[in-house]
Structure 1
Amino acid sequence: MRSALLVLAGVGTLVLPVFLDGEQLGIYVLAGLAAMVTVGLSLLMGQAGQISLGQASFYAIGAYTAGLLAVHDTPPVLGLVAAPVVAGAFATVVGVGVLRLRGHYLAFATLATQLILLSVLSQSAWAGGAIGLQGIPRFSIGSYEFEDDVQYAYLTWAALALVLLVAHNLVRSRPGRGLRALATSEVAAAASGVPVGRYRLAVFALSAAFAGLAGGIYAYYLGYLGPGSFPVLLSVEYVVMAVVGGLGTIAGGVVGAVAITLLVQVLNDVGTRPGMPSSAPTVLAYGVYGLLLVLVVLFLPRGIVPALRRRERS
């Protein structure tokens, strides 16, 4: 049954963009990008037991890497390849220091990383400053240029398929078992021969690389980047997506990302109606995210996907 559902999901992914209009295609692309980031965050929090409130910073690094290379006439394919590499390298450098922390100290450190990055981007002329980076060309492969959202939809979900494949192989590998042991007890994992520090840093860098890949596609898709495109609320969204879908589960990252992306669109529609204050979308988002986390902890403590799997077994 699970194999049949996977085949059905794959067919639906290929067919659905043909039947969507402009705005719906945009949501479809954003859901795929969010899923890439969330799968990495779900591995980091659920498999390695590390908390990150700054995942949007790696999304931003990937986006700015691809965008800056593109405006300096670098082939888009090279820019897209460089995006996850640079994001992963940045996470490795940062992780050497911040991963010495635990619990809410680590969460605050990753949040501080994003705030520092946004401050640097908003004050740096090479990144466009507060105005942002403009004139990013469309993605192209050789002489073939992506001209409509359908092509970006296929690019996004093809990249997501690659992310899912890498994540699936990691979870089923020996390092994946070591990560699960690490999440349960670092002391016990170390006593069993698991290189705790190296594994923790590796999964932190991998989750950042996933976010960087999503950011690279985002840069080519929009053609514009600004510090305001990567607010702290975006990192909070990714955490909510991972928790709602199911921490540590690959499918949970996709389910949570799609569900929350659709919810974000509803909240934006409500918050931008005539008569609503300009801060309404943000206030609604924080309120609904908080309520949603409370409800999930109370009624679906392990997330949607684990709950469905338990029901299937019973």
Structure 2
Amino acid sequence: MIRLVAGLLVAAATLVLPAVLDDSALAVYILLGLAAMVTVGVSLLMGYAGQVSLGQGAFYAIGAYTAALLALNGVPPLAGLVAAPVVAALSALVIGVPLLRLRGHHLAFATLAMQLILLSLAGQLEITGGDIGLQAIPQFSVGSFEAGGASAYAYLTWAGLALVMLVTRNVIISRPGRALRALATSETAAASSGIPVGRYKLVVFALSAAFAGLAGGIYCFYTGYVAPGSFPVLISIQYIVMAVVGGLGTIWGAVVGATAITLLVQALNSLAALPGMPTYAPSVLSYAVYALVLILVVLFLPHGLLPAVTKRAGGADPPAHRPGRTRPPPRWPRSGRASRD
């Protein structure tokens, strides 16, 4: 009952806020929703499948460039937005075949290198506009309706986030979701149980990439401009921080983490814009605060903000699954005879 009431309150606030926020606050609101969309995929990938990726910003960029190129070449914006997650997922399937043979920090560094290579190519290819990028991207439209204001993009963003959360929930409670949890606990044990480990890792990698691609597609229509500078390496680290702070392995934790970190980043940007601050202040402050937040969360809130709050409030316990956590050994019968089971 409490969860239902909380969900209704969040839904009501989501619908009301675009009508009452000014343009600057709406921009933060939209970017928050886009970040939450990507972070849900990161939480699914890391919290349930146990795969670490520092390259989600690459799939965010792939979705944005896909939608932008199609729209600039006369394709309806709706078709471009649909194509964005599809192309991002297909790219993840191709890239994931060699990369997902790696594990742990090797996989993390490989995905980070993938983003660096992608940004380098986008800055040199003529089709992507080079370092200048793609400009004058048409507004998102469906038939005669055109999203001309920020409030329309806010509704579009949070509708996309609702879709992403619904898909993730259905995956988690399904049989493949249970297989993912077993895979994260021990790939060897999962394989011995008949779970196709390689296939499941590749599918969840592609699904998280599709979420990032959808967010990138909405982003390109909202800003009307994409360039390699729109997708710095720091953005992938930011998604990891959001997932960890909110609570890995929880859907709403990704939204909580995205909200906390986005508001923190906005505060840091305001601080860095004060008179007398050096030009490198925003990046230095961001890296320093990300490191500090991660250390504090790992030390004092190892499950993340949302599980800690719900446990303190007497709600659900923190997620039972964490990458690397094993179940207790089974209790064998005390007698020497075999169990009837």
Q: What TM-score results when the alignment is normalised by the length of structure 1? A: 0.99
Alignment CA distance shift 1:309-1:190 (3 Å): farther
The match for 1:197 is 198
1:212 and 1:118 map into 2 onto residues whose CA distance is: 15
Cα-Cα RMSD = 0.8
TM-superposed deviation, 1:311: 2.0
In 2, Cα distance between equivalents of 1:221 and 1:55 = 20
Question: Superposition pairs for residues 83-94 of structure 1, below 5 Å?
Answer: 83-94=84-95
2-structure distance, mates of 1:183, 1:296: 22
- Is residue 2:198 matched to residue 1:174? no
Residue 123 of structure 2 aligns to a residue whose secondary structure is: helix
- For residues 53-81 of structure 1, the C-alpha deviation after alignment (integer angstroms, 9 at most, x for no partner) is 11100000000000000110100000000
Cα-to-partner distance string for 1:75-131 (whole Å, 9 max, x where unaligned): 000000000000000001000010000110000000000000000000011100001
Q: Which residue of 2 aligns with 1:137?
A: 138
Q: Which runs of 5+ in 1 are unaligned?
A: none
% identity of equivalent residues: 66
Partner of 1:280: 281
Distance in 2, Cα, partners of 1:151 & 1:281: 30
1:49 and 2:62 correspond: no
Question: Structure 1 residue 144: deviation in Å?
Answer: 1.2
Match of 1:291, as an amino acid?
L
Per the alignment, residue 217 of structure 1 pairs with 218
Once the two structures are superposed, what CA deviation does each residue of 1:27-64 show, in whole Å capped at 9, x if it has no partner?
00000000000000000000000001111000000000
> Residue 293 of structure 2 aligns to which amino acid in structure 1?
L
2-structure distance, mates of 1:136, 1:296: 40
- 2:234 paired residue number: 233
Q: 1:133 Cα shift?
A: 0.6
Matches within 5 A, 1:93-108: 93-108=94-109
Measure, in 2, the Cα distance between the counterparts of 1:297 and 1:237.
Answer: 16
Once the two structures are TM-superposed, the CA of residue 312 in structure 1 deviates from its matched residue by 3.3
Name the aligned partner's letter for residue 296 of structure 1: V
Please give the alpha-carbon distance, in whole angstroms, between the structure 1 residues aligned to 2:44 and 2:309: 19
Q: Which structure 1 residue ranges, 4+ long, deviate > 6 Å from structure 2?
A: none
Aligned equivalent of 1:311? 312
Is 2:238 the partner of 1:263? no
Q: For residues 209 and 184 of structure 1, what CA distance do their matches in structure 2 show?
A: 24
Distance in structure 1 (CA, Å) of the matches to 2:191 and 2:282: 45
1:310 and 1:199 map into 2 onto residues whose CA distance is 31
Q: Tell me, what secondary structure is at the counterpart of 2:313?
A: helix
Which letter maps to 1:126?
I
Q: Distance in 1 between matches of 2:310 and 2:278?
A: 42
- Partner in structure 1 of residue 290 of structure 2: 289
C-alpha separation between the residues in 2 aligned to 1:281 and 1:126? Answer: 31
Aligned to 2:124: 123
Task: Please state whether the residue corresponding to 2:54 is helix, strand or coil.
Answer: coil
SS of aligned partner of 1:123: coil
How far is 1:288 from its partner?
A: 0.1
- Higher Rg: 2
Residue ranges of structure 2 left out of the alignment (5+ in a row): 316-341
Per the TM alignment, residue 308 of structure 1 is displaced from its structure 2 partner at its CA by 2.0
Equivalent in the alignment of 1:300: 301
Q: When the two structures are superposed, what TM-score results if normalisation uses the length of structure 2?
A: 0.91
- 3-state DSSP class of the match of 2:162? helix
User: Secondary structure of 1:125's match?
Assistant: coil
Question: Residue 70 of structure 1 aligns to which amino acid in structure 2?
Answer: A
Q: Aligned pair 1:73/2:77, yes or no?
A: no
The size of the alignment, in residue pairs, is 314
Select between 262-271 and 212-221 the one with higher mean Cα deviation. Answer: 262-271
Counterpart for residue 83 of structure 2 = 82
- What amino acid does structure 1 have at the position aligned with 2:172? V
Larger helix fraction of residues:
1
Q: How far apart are the structure 2 equivalents of 1:180 and 1:213?
A: 25
Q: Which amino acid aligns with 1:99?
A: L
Cα separation, 2, equivalents of 1:95 and 1:305: 31
